[in-house]
């Protein structure tokens, strides 16, 4: 028998609209799952059960003609994202008791759309790493096998969605932080075009690298949440691309991008590193499906190469310099302290020169791939990594380098500002997910989502579940559900 969490986000909203389920019933059901599985998955730092149930009651009282496509649906907010009145730790013991007085714009927009947050999802400290293993919550674990990481920095969001704790979640991506967890956990993780989603009300735009975005089980769910997030907000540093006719959900539902020229490559861009055969095989499968759908898939050189790494590295060091009270610096993790010490050594002149050279390389890369409508490559160089693998030797410099070699693709598209999505095309021999990265032209989010949805249909859908999905049946824990897949 189907359980409420078996429904996609859009299906849950439709069930509410038909009065088959209430938002209160959905929220209570998912809170039971959070209570049973949240710590095992390391999905949440803070659960706001009473607040969520109150919001669900308010959602149920809204007249039907004032409800949007995701009204009343449970969701979650990344712990890097300001949430008024809710503890927001930024993944750090240095902010363990911090409660913001204001909402981030994306939180305000999700609340206005009738989504109901169950709490704050686990993230890496200050968003500095691609795994989520800190001191304020259990490590975010992959629901397909709890021995493996759910990634970062939106690792808790991915664990929550892949484990059936919420159907869709908000995250952010400054160097792959949505797409990496999506690849590891078998989800759709979407980094929008620069400027499409507000980063406010605080911050300076961070050189255009990070952006808020959605993560979910289907392209349509992700597109629906993107429509909620992609409302223009005055004062943002980057001009948003125009909204497509019918919205991003309309583009996903049409799944008809037209015949495209798609550039395929597997060579890593930020590291001269061998790529695992499973990652190449996933790209091969995606290319075959796209060709069968009528697109032209051609081999191309990557837009940028390993020479760009020192430039991105310098910028990343500077971005680690988020304000931290001096008396709390000692509470930061070794990796965070290392990045901040290196960032503090970067002069203003060096930073300006680095940004200039990085933009020059982006221009050259864009010209090399200008004849392609989309780019196709692996999301990661290795399919999975065990919890603790990055910090195994206790050396933060080795940890940072290990991350670069593990993920040498995603961050380039933060530099270019282009929309980029990880799609769960492949599987390992042990049935763990393997993602591919599909990237569009700047501002052409609708075409990218339409192609992703077309690829989803050609793959017979991606809404597959790990065995832990059935670890809670009607709010009763029946087993550990570690590894394997459920029907």
CA distance 209 to 416: 8
E-strand stretches of 285-419 = 296-299, 374-378
CA distance 227 to 234: 17
CA distance 83 to 75: 14
Closest to 311 in 3D by CA, of 343, 358, 251, 356: 358
Per-residue buried b or exposed e for 128-148, using 16+ beta carbons within 10 Å of the residue's own CB: bbbbbbbebbbbbbbbbbbeb
Kindly state the tokens that stand for 422: 């990880």
- 396, 334 Cβ separation under 8 angstroms: yes
Which residues is 296 bridged to in the sheet? 261
- 58, 99 Cβ separation under 8 angstroms: no
Closest to 435 in 3D by CA, of 215, 164, 169: 215
Question: Residue 282, exposed/middle/buried by CB under 10 A (0-12, 13-18, 19+)?
Answer: buried
Which residues is 386 bridged to in the sheet? 148
How would you classify the pairing of strands 472-473 and 476-477? antiparallel
Question: Residue 327, exposed/middle/buried by CB under 10 A (0-12, 13-18, 19+)?
Answer: exposed
Strand order in the sheet with 261-264: 168-173, 211-216, 188-191, 420-427, 433-440, 374-378, 261-264, 296-299
- 158, 177 Cβ separation under 8 angstroms: no
Q: Could you list the active site residues?
A: 78, 153, 177
Beta carbons within 8 Å of 414's beta carbon, 6+ residues apart? 173, 174, 175, 176, 191, 208, 209, 210, 211
The DSSP secondary structure of 400-438, one letter per residue, reads HHHHHHH-SSHHHHHHH---EEEEEEEE-TTS-EEEEEE
CA distance 185 to 132: 13
CA distance 7 to 167: 8
Question: Residue 75, exposed/middle/buried by CB under 10 A (0-12, 13-18, 19+)?
Answer: buried
């Amino acid at each position: 028998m189907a359980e409420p969490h078996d429904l996609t986000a859009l299906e849950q909203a439709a069930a509410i609209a038909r009065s088959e389920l209430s938002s209160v019933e959905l929220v209570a059901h998912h809170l039971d799952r959070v209570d049973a599985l949240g710590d095992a998955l390391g999905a949440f730092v803070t659960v706001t059960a009473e607040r969520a149930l109150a919001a669900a009651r308010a959602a149920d009282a809204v007249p039907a003609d004032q409800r949007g496509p995701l009204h009343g649906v449970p969701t979650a907010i990344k712990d890097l994202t300001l949430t008024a009145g809710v503890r927001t730790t930024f993944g750090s013991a240095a902010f363990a008791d911090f409660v913001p007085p204001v909402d981030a714009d994306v939180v305000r927009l999700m609340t206005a759309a009738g989504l109901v947050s169950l709490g704050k999802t686990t993230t890496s400290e200050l968003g500095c790493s691609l795994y989520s293993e800190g001191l304020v919550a259990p490590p975010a674990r992959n629901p397909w096998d709890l021995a493996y990481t759910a990634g970062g920095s939106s690792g808790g969001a991915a664990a929550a969605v892949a484990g059936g704790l919420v159907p869709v979640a908000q995250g952010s991506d400054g160097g792959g932080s949505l797409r990496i967890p999506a690849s590891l956990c078998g989800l759709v993780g979407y980094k929008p075009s620069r400027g499409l989603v507000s980063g406010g009300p605080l911050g300076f735009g961070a050189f255009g690298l990070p952006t808020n975005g959605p993560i979910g089980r289907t392209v349509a769910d992700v597109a629906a949440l993107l429509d909620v997030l992609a409302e223009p907000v005055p004062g943002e540093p980057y001009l948003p691309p125009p909204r497509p006719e019918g919205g991003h959900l309309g583009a996903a539902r049409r799944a008809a991008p037209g015949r495209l020229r798609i550039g395929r490559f597997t060579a890593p861009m930020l590291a001269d590193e061998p790529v695992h055969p499973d990652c190449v095989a996933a790209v091969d499968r995606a290319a075959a499906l796209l060709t069968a759908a009528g697109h032209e898939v051609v081999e191309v050189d990557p837009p940028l190469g390993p020479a760009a790494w020192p430039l991105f590295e310098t910028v990343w060091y500077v971005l680690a310099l988020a304000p931290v009270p001096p008396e709390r610096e000692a509470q930061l993790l070794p990796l965070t302290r290392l990045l901040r010490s290196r960032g503090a050594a970067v002069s203003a002149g060096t930073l300006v020169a680095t940004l200039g050279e990085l933009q020059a390389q982006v221009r050259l890369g864009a010209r090399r791939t200008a004849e392609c409508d989309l780019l196709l490559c692996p999301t990661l160089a290795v399919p999975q990594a065990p919890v603790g693998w990055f910090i195994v030797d206790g050396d933060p410099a080795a940890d940072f380098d290990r991350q670069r070699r593990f993920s040498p693709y995603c961050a380039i598209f933060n530099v270019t500002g282009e929309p980029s999505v990880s799609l769960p095309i492949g599987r390992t021999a042990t049935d763990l997910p393997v993602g591919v990265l599909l990237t569009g032209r700047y501002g052409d989010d609708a075409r990218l989502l339409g192609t992703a949805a077309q690829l989803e249909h050609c793959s017979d859908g991606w809404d597959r579940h790990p065995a832990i999905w059935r670890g809670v049946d009607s709010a009763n824990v029946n087993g550990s559900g570690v590894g394997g897949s459920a029907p």
